[in-house]
Amino acid sequence: MASNVQNPVYTRGAPRSSRDRIREQFLDAIRINKPEVLASLAEYVLPIYRSVYEIIPSAMDDAEVDILVKTLFHNIRSKSRLESAKGLINHLQDEMMFWSPILERDASNGEKDGVPEYNVKLSLDDPDNVIGLEEHEQDLFYRFRDVFTVRKSKQNHEGINQSYLDLIGDLGDGIYDIYRYLYHWSLHWNLSDKWFLTQSLHTLNRWCRESITTNWDWAYTPKLAIVYSPFYFDFPFTYAQWYPEADSWPVYKKKARARLLVEFEEKINAYREQREPTVKKRLRARSKRSEIHFLWLIDFQIHELEIPQIVEKYFDRWVDLGHDKGLDYSTVWEAIVSLATALPLTLRPKKGKS
pLDDT of residue 13: 41
Q: Within a domain: residue 7?
A: no
pLDDT at 18: 80
Residue type, 259: R
Looking at the structure, do residues 320 and 247 belong to the same domain, yes or no?
A: no
What pLDDT shows up at residue 211? 93
3-state secondary structure of 309: helix
Same domain, 169 and 311: no
Cβ density class 239-254: b for 16+ within 10 Å, e for less: eeeeeeeeeeeeebee
Which of 28, 55, 20 lies closest to 285 in space, CA to CA? 20
- Walk along the chain (354 residues) in steps of 10 and give the mean pLDDT of each run: 39 59 93 96 97 90 90 90 93 93 82 69 90 94 90 72 93 97 97 95 95 91 41 69 82 86 84 74 54 96 96 90 85 95 92 57
Same domain, 198 and 109: yes
Three-state DSSP class for residue 246: coil
Phi and psi (nearest 5°) for 298?
-65, -40
pLDDT of residue 229: 44
Asked if 119 and 145 sit in the same domain, the reply is yes
199: in domain? yes
**79 and 120 co-located in one domain:** yes
Count of structural domains within the chain: 3
For residue 222, is the peptide bond before it cis, meaning its omega torsion is within 30 degrees of 0? no
Residue 5: what pLDDT? 39
User: Could you say which of 288, 313, 328 is where a domain stops?
Assistant: 288
Question: Which of residues 269, 288, 307 is at a domain's end?
Answer: 288
Q: Say whether 104 sits in a helix, a strand or coil.
A: strand
**Coil vs helix vs strand at 24:** helix
Query: Which pLDDT score, from 0 to 100, does residue 113 have?
Result: 59
Asked if residue 258 and residue 168 are part of one domain, the reply reads no
Q: Is the whole-model pTM more than 0.85?
A: no
Are residues 259 and 180 part of one domain? no
261 and 279 share one domain: yes
Q: Is residue 228 part of a domain?
A: no
Pair (269, 301) in one structural domain: no
The reported pLDDT for the residue numbered 112 is: 60
Structural domain boundaries enclosing 253: 235-288
Q: Of 152, 187, 215, at which residue does a domain stop?
A: 215
